[in-house]
């Protein structure tokens, strides 16, 4: 066994942009741009990412630098100028107003997360959970609504900047347990954030351990969505409660449930370090399975070689590739977005070079209002060029795996850019979707 030196986490934020020695090679104007964007979108990075993941010889192109450090182009030129001007000339209060206005323009809640996915129990909304697909409930523990570093593309960014009224969080797990007891159709609980692995083991266990006992026999799988394997792998190796976390994982698997660590890795660089691989080994000794997922983003991982190498490495280390997502329609979307056709080309070029064990991955996938839509490919049907699409998950479960067709469009970036092909007026699910949404918004208006 290699000896791994423990590291104590240090978090860096806006105030450190002028202090970090690594950033001194940037021009003052570039640093100012980082500071300006960081007023609007959340910025946080830690000493592991700075010291071991980013290649400072290669900034600003280094993918992990782009992943964690805001870039001026992430805002529109007008917004950027405005923030810079107010940073230098204005009161904190005026700056705050400007920043909030810009945030509201960045579509803080894509895909109807608030209106349509928050369920009710005995006539009351259950805050901090989302239930969109029958078999899986998402829970957002209050203490897990932060991360060991923030991704510049984060689609949960409003949580981190404290935008009023749109924060998801559940303070205590009681209500959530009642909800699960009443929903026998649920097989999977997905604990998510932020990053629940920022929580102490003791705290995390308050959400997990009850599910191992009586009344929760229908829960087969506990998933934990986490980026800590990439941003802070010490969590599972040398942190003071690393052992407690591993024992908690073991408890789940010994209780006869499946524990799936849904690990967010954006680039193979994140699994190259000794500590990152040690974290994977430690997690796997508990009987937990690691499944991997990431969005496809311009400037970070928009090449098939990056994905091929990442999936190969993951399989070598015993992880199961699971999703390649399309970047969501929020935040600095315009900066990262990759058109649908290009996303499919990257996916297709990458997957053909890996063995069947890595072809478990599904993609490119859009988590959109009606459900999770996969882009299966491009085809010619009766002389018309079309996208072939299908649901992996739908608001109506019967939509799953029914192919449907959209007009080929090189510029389309998201499901909402697409129109039906082959003379159809609307996609097969649209009327039913309107009905489902109408019922759900009535329910949530009554119980608000
Ligand atoms: C992706 C997702 C799930 C899980 O879907 P799987 O197909 O089981 O991976 C559950 N709920 C929501 C809201 C999701 O976006
Ligand atoms: S790890 Fe996930 S929740 Fe955290 S900043 Fe990145 S994308 Fe957002």
Q: What is the pLDDT of residue 145?
A: 87
CB 328 near ligand 2, within 6 Å: no
Q: What is the pLDDT of residue 259?
A: 98
Which position has the token pair 């280094």? 62
Query: Ligand 1: which residue has its CA nearest to atom 6?
Result: 393
pTM, whole model, 2 decimals?
0.94
The answer, yes or no, to whether residue 439 has pLDDT greater than 60, is yes
Q: What percent of the chain lies above the pLDDT cut of 90?
A: 82
Residue 246 phi, psi (nearest 5): -65, -40
Which position has the token pair 């209780």? 255
Residues 6+ apart with CB under 8 A from 313: 268, 271, 272
User: Of the bound ligands, which one is closest to the alpha carbon of residue 158?
Assistant: 2
Please give the DSSP secondary-structure letter assigned to residue 238: T
C-alpha 155 – ligand 2 centre gap (Å): 7
pLDDT digits (tens, 9 = 90+) for 39-54: 999 999 999 999 999 9
The rounded distance, in Å, linking the Cα atoms of 235 and 245 is 9
The rounded distance, in Å, linking the Cα atoms of 334 and 107 is 12
Rounded mean pLDDT of the chain? 92
Query: Ligand 1: which residue has its CA nearest to atom 13?
Result: 132
Q: Which of 149-163, 277-291, 424-438 bottoms out in mean pLDDT, i.e. has the lowest? A: 149-163
CB 338 near ligand 2, within 6 Å: no
Binning pLDDT at 50, 70 and 90, where does residue 241 land?
Answer: very high
Cβ density class 140-168: b for 16+ within 10 Å, e for less: bbbbbbbbbbbbbbbbbbbbbbeeeeebb
The answer, yes or no, to whether residue 56 has pLDDT greater than 50, is yes
User: Of the bound ligands, which one is closest to the alpha carbon of residue 371?
Assistant: 1
Which atom of ligand 1 is nearest to 117's Cα?
13
Residue 137 phi, psi (nearest 5): -110, 135
CB 195 near ligand 2, within 6 Å: yes
Binning pLDDT at 50, 70 and 90, where does residue 30 land?
Answer: very high
C-alpha 344 – ligand 2 centre gap (Å): 24
pLDDT digits (tens, 9 = 90+) for 59-107: 999 999 999 999 999 999 999 999 999 999 999 999 999 999 999 888 8
> What angle is formed at CA 48 by the lines to CA 46 and CA 49, rounded to 5 degrees?
70
Q: What is the pLDDT of residue 393?
A: 97
Mean pLDDT to the nearest integer, 286-296: 98
C-alpha 405 – ligand 2 centre gap (Å): 32
Which residues have any ligand 1 atom within 6 Å of their CB? 130, 132-133, 136, 138, 367, 372, 392-393
Q: Which of 123-137, 197-211, 368-382 bottoms out in mean pLDDT, i.e. has the lowest? A: 123-137
Q: What percent of the chain lies above the pLDDT cut of 70?
A: 95
Binning pLDDT at 50, 70 and 90, where does residue 166 land?
Answer: very low
Query: Ligand 1: which residue has its CA nearest to atom 4?
Result: 136
Binning pLDDT at 50, 70 and 90, where does residue 445 land?
Answer: low
Q: Which of 105-114, 139-148, 385-394 bottoms out in mean pLDDT, i.e. has the lowest? A: 105-114
Binning pLDDT at 50, 70 and 90, where does residue 164 land?
Answer: very low
pLDDT digits (tens, 9 = 90+) for 372-429: 999 999 999 999 999 999 999 999 999 999 999 999 999 999 999 999 999 999 999 9
224/128: higher pLDDT:
224
Mean pLDDT to the nearest integer, 223-246: 97
Binning pLDDT at 50, 70 and 90, where does residue 279 land?
Answer: very high
In a mutational test of the pocket of ligand 2, which residue from 227, 235, 266 has the highest number of ligand atoms less than 8 Å from its CB?
Answer: 227
Query: Ligand 2: which residue has its CA nearest to atom 7?
Result: 154
**Is residue 9 packed enough to be buried (19+ CB in 10 Å), middle (13-18) or exposed (0-12)?**
middle
Under 8 Å between Cβ of 322 and 293: yes
- Taking only Cα atoms into account, the Rg of the chain, rounded to an integer number of angstroms, comes to 22
CB 262 near ligand 2, within 6 Å: no
C-alpha 174 – ligand 2 centre gap (Å): 26
Q: Which two tokens stand for residue 364?
A: 């490119």
Binning pLDDT at 50, 70 and 90, where does residue 115 land?
Answer: low
Ranges of H-type helices in 161-295: 174-182, 201-208, 228-231, 242-254, 274-285
Q: Which two tokens stand for residue 231?
A: 């941003």
The answer, yes or no, to whether residue 211 has pLDDT greater than 90, is yes
The strand pairing partners of 292, in sequence order, are 263, 321
C-alpha 205 – ligand 1 centre gap (Å): 22
User: Of the bound ligands, which one is closest to the alpha carbon of residue 397?
Assistant: 1
Which atom of ligand 1 is nearest to 136's Cα?
10
Under 8 Å between Cβ of 79 and 40: yes
C-alpha 391 – ligand 1 centre gap (Å): 12
Which atom of ligand 1 is nearest to 138's Cα?
11
Which atom of ligand 1 is nearest to 135's Cα?
8
Query: Ligand 2: which residue has its CA nearest to atom 5?
Result: 150
C-alpha 408 – ligand 1 centre gap (Å): 27
CB 327 near ligand 2, within 6 Å: no
162/293: higher pLDDT:
293
The rounded distance, in Å, linking the Cα atoms of 332 and 154 is 9
User: Of the bound ligands, which one is closest to the alpha carbon of residue 44?
Assistant: 2
Mean pLDDT to the nearest integer, 25-44: 94
């Amino acid at each position: 066994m290699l000896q791994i030196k423990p590291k104590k986490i240090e978090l860096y934020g806006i105030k450190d942009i002028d202090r970090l020695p690594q950033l001194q090679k940037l021009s003052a104007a570039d640093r100012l741009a980082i500071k300006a964007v960081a007023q609007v979108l959340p910025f946080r990075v830690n000493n592991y990412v700075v010291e071991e993941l980013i290649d400072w010889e290669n900034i600003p192109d280094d993918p992990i630098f782009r992943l964690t450090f805001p870039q001026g182009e992430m805002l529109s030129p007008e917004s950027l100028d405005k923030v810079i001007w107010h940073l230098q000339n204005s009161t904190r209060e005026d700056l705050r107003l400007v920043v909030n206005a810009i945030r509201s323009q960045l579509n803080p809640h894509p895909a109807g997360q608030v209106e349509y996915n928050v369920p009710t129990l005995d006539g009351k909304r259950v805050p901090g959970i989302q239930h969109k697909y029958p078999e899986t409930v998402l829970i957002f523990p209050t203490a897990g609504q932060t991360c060991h570093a923030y991704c510049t593309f984060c689609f949960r960014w409003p949580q981190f900047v404290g935008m009023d009224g749109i924060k998801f969080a559940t303070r205590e797990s009681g209500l959530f347990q009642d909800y699960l007891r009443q929903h026998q159709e649920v097989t999977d609980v997905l604990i998510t954030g932020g990053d629940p692995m920022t929580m102490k083991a003791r705290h995390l266990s308050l959400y997990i351990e009850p599910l191992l006992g009586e009344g929760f026999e229908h829960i087969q799988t506990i998933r934990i969505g986490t980026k800590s394997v990439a941003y802070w792998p010490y969590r599972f190796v040398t942190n003071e409660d690393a052992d407690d976390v591993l024992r908690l994982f073991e408890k789940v698997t010994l209780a006869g449930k499946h524990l799936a660590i849904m690990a967010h890795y954006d680039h193979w660089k994140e699994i190259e370090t000794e500590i990152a691989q040690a974290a994977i080994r430690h997690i796997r000794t508990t009987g937990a399975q690691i499944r991997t997922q990431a969005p496809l983003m311009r400037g970070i991982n928009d090449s098939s070689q990056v994905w091929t190498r990442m999936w190969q490495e993951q399989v070598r280390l015993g992880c199961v590739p699971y999703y390649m997502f399309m970047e969501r329609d929020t935040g600095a979307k315009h900066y990262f977005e990759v058109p649908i056709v290009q996303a499919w080309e990257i996916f297709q070029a990458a997957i053909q070079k890996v063995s069947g064990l890595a072809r478990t991955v599904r993609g490119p996938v859009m988590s959109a209002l009606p459900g999770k839509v996969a882009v299966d490919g491009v085809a010619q049907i009766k002389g018309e060029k079309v996208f072939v699409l299908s649901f992996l998950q739908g608001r109506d479960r019967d939509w799953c795996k029914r192919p449907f067709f959209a007009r080929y469009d090189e510029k389309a970036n998201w499901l909402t850019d697409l129109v039906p092909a082959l003379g159809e007026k609307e996609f097969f699910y649209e009327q039913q979707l309107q009905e489902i949404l109408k019922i759900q918004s009535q329910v949530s208006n009554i119980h608000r």
